[in-house]
Amino acid sequence: MARNDDPIQVFLSYFEKAKSLELPYYDAMTLATATREGKPSARVVLFKGIIEQEGITFYTNYQSRKGKELLENPQAACVFYWPKIECQIRFEGQVKKLSDEESNVYWKTRPRDSQLGGVVSQQSQPLKNRFMFLKEFLLLKFKLIGKEVARPQHWGGYALTPNMAEVWLGKPHRLHRRFSYRKDAAGWYQQELYP
Residues with catalytic roles: 174
Rg (CA), the chain: 19
Task: Please provide the DSSP assignment of 112-150 as one string.
Answer: HHHHHHHHH--TTS--S-HHHHHHHHHHHHHHTTTS--P
112-120 helix and 130-143 helix, angle to the nearest 10 degrees? 130
CB 65 within 8 A of CB 41: yes
Of the candidates 46, 50, 48, the one whose C-alpha atom is nearest the C-alpha of residue 28 is: 46
> Residue 89 is inside which H or E element, if any?
strand 87-97
Sign of the Cα torsion 83, 84, 89, 90 reads negative
